[in-house]
Amino acid sequence: MLTRRQLLSGLGAAAWSLQAGVARATTARALDLPELLRLSGAVSVATPIEAQSRWERVGGQRRIVTYVRLQLEQTWLGEPEAQPLVRTLGGQVGDTGQVVHGEAPLALGQRALLFLTPRTRELRSVAGMAQGHYPLLEGPRSPARLTQSPGLPTLVDVDAASAVVRLSGQRLDDASRLVVEAAREAR
């Protein structure tokens, strides 16, 4: 049986899914929540405050990358950091732009729940690319809810266990409970 809270949570998530615009690109297998957590060193609510792009070699490839500075607000799992630096693929340098379909588009000023992978001691990336990015949609009278990343790839074999399905549309406190419980079960 569904409890009233769980039903309302599910309905809220469902209604939110109707509103959330989603851009899909590239192709990736859907990550379930424990898989996403295994890729993550930290799970945080944060706001991108600054971004810088440059040409750089990544995995042997010469690409444009964008470094995004985050202002952390809450850390649910992992070690809290005030302003971690995250590297994302793609960006714009001079008159040249590069879009990497499937990467998390960390919009400046947009609060989001982020699953972060440590790359080096100083540098993070978004775990699972856009599957680890959940922008928060907040209205003046309604609590903030998680939405799917606009950069979400085309998902292969998505089902009810997929992280994007379990988290999208959830209120922050419900999402926090889901993440912490999943992390406990994953141990």
Partner 1 sequence: MRRGSRLAASGLALGVLLVSATASGYCRTTTCDPRRQACPRDAQGCMTGGIPLAWPEACVGFSVQRDGSVKLGIDAGTLRGIVTDAFATWQAAACAPTIAWSPLEDASCAEVQYNSQAPNANLWLFRDEVWPYDDGGKTLALTTVTYNLKTGAIYDADVELNAAQNLLVARDPRGPREVDLRSIVTHEAGHVLGLAHSGEPDAVMNERYRSGTTSLRELTADDVSGVCAIYPADRPLGVCRPVPRHGFSPSCATEAPLEEGGCCSVAPGRRRGSEALALAALLGGALLAATRRRARRA
What residues numbered 161-180 form the site for partner 1, per CB under 8 A? 161-162, 165-166, 168-169, 178
Among 38, 73, 74, 143, binds partner 1 (CB under 8 A): 38
In the complex, least distance from residue 5 CB atom to partner 1, rounded to whole angstroms: 9
In the complex, least distance from residue 184 CB atom to partner 1, rounded to whole angstroms: 13
Integer angstrom CA distances of residue 28 from 24, 79, 151: 10, 28, 12
For the segment 126-145, give every residue that binds partner 1 (CB under 8 A).
126-129, 131
DSSP assigned state of 79: -
Does the protein bind partner 1 through residue 72 (CB under 8 A)?
no
Those residues with Cβ within 8 angstroms of residue 9's Cβ, 6 or more apart along the chain or in another chain: 170, 171, 174
Does the protein bind partner 1 through residue 69 (CB under 8 A)?
yes
Q: Which of 24, 96, 26 is nearest to 63 (CA)?
A: 96
In the complex, least distance from residue 91 CB atom to partner 1, rounded to whole angstroms: 6
CA distance 161 to 101: 24
For the segment 80-119, give every residue that binds partner 1 (CB under 8 A).
81-85, 88-102, 105-108, 110, 117, 119
CA distance 55 to 92: 9
